[in-house]
Amino acid sequence: MGTAKRASSRSSRRRGVSSALTLLCAMAILTAPGIAVGSAYAAPSAPGAPTPTPTPPPPPNSTPDAQGKSLDQVRQEIEDLYRQAGAATDAYNLAESETKAQTERIVEIAKLVVAGQDRIAGLKNRAGAAARAQYRSNGLPPGARLALSDSPADFLDGTGRLRQGEKATTDLLSELNRTQTDLERYAKDAGAIWQKMEENRVKQEAAKKRIEEKIKAAEALENRLEAEEKARLIQLEQEAQYKAQTAWLSSGAMKDVKGTATDAGKLAVQFATAQIGKPYVWGAAGPDSFDCSGLTSQAWLKAGRGIPRTSQEQLRLLPKVAVKDMRPGDLIIYWDDASHVGMYVGDGAMVHAPRPGRNVTMAGVGSMPIKAVVRPDA
């Protein structure tokens, strides 16, 4: 019975994903006539099956700008600029997350310094009390106190207590020295952290400048296009994605992919797909907008697992798995510089925040060059 229920549940989930993809493809076809986007996630036609003849796309405009570039060349240039902006966004986000961690460490050090100062004050009070006690004994040497004592037994008992007091004083002074040494180390650590924070601030400003320059250049290219050219540009993007996905599927990459999501993976996928339609904004991690790694890191945070903030750190720190072993919830790192990331949702599809000017959406896993697959809940 339990097996039947699980099989039924998997079947229902698979039908749910397929329905979502069907709806997505239908919307794409409505907005991009003549483009067979609905085939992006499906396997190529079986041998012997009739191959549908796609409607030929209208020829790209030959001179959309003053340099005489074709519309497809403009598309590639725009995508390259946005990808460079994505790499700079990763650098910005990494510097920001490091600064946050360093700020938290500074707060911890400040608390340790306060505690150390309080400790030193207490030790000094104890040292003062010991000095006052010695003063009250007139500081007489042991031989003189023995000669003046009425009871040698009382003297010897007092001598024992004196030795204990001397040891306690020695221990107190040693502890005082250790605490002062700790405070000096805290001050040195804090200085080093402040230096790193300043370096990160410079990195953030440089990355922000690169991001703004790349986005501005890409927007300038796109803004020179007429409305019809902009619509055609979207079609060209979809064509390129469809072509890449079809080639990837034809390679047999999905043949052995049968992994099922963990409970945490299901929660991560549920969160990520619920963000579909929200805009891409660089540096954003919700709730109203996301960049690519902001979406994946927040999805897994909602699933109860904190992961690195950037796609490059996700690649570096999370366990890698083979494509054939990937399961829903795994993260797919794209491009050689690991500048983009999406989340596998099953059936050859992934959800991602593409770039500025686009919204969170689903696309084919193979629609971009895959660098690696990583698993947050290995």
**DSSP class per residue in 28-90:** HHHHSTT--GGGTTSPPPPTTSPPP-PPPPPPPPS-SSTT---HHHHHHHHHHHHHHHHHHHH
pLDDT on residue 149: 54
Per-residue pLDDT band at 372 (split at 50, 70, 90): very high
pLDDT on residue 312: 93
In the numeric block, the tokens 């052995």 are attached to 256
pLDDT on residue 141: 52
Q: Cα(219)–Cα(78) distance, rounded to whole angstroms?
A: 8
- The verdict on whether omega for the bond into residue 279 sits within 30 degrees of 0, i.e. cis, is no
Q: What is the pTM of this model?
A: 0.61
Fold of 258-378: endopeptidase fold (from Nostoc punctiforme) (3.90.1720)
pLDDT on residue 175: 79
Active-site amino acid positions: 292, 340, 352
Per-residue pLDDT band at 154 (split at 50, 70, 90): low
Q: Cα(313)–Cα(342) distance, rounded to whole angstroms?
A: 14
User: For a pLDDT cut of 70, what percent of the chain falls above it?
Assistant: 71
Higher pLDDT, 320 or 67: 320
Mean pLDDT across 297-311:
96
pLDDT on residue 204: 83
Whether the predicted pLDDT of 13 surpasses 70: no
Higher pLDDT, 233 or 47: 233
pLDDT in tens, 336-362: 999 999 999 999 999 999 999 899 999
Q: Cα(268)–Cα(305) distance, rounded to whole angstroms?
A: 9
Question: Residue 375: enclosing H or E segment and its boundaries?
Answer: none
299 in Cβ contact with 292 (< 8 Å): no
Q: Cα(346)–Cα(329) distance, rounded to whole angstroms?
A: 9
Mean pLDDT across 62-86:
77
Any residues with CB less than 8 A from the CB of 255 and at least 6 apart, and which?
A: 324
261 in Cβ contact with 299 (< 8 Å): no
Taking the domains of the chain in order of start, what are their residue ranges?
93-213, 258-378
Per-residue pLDDT band at 139 (split at 50, 70, 90): low
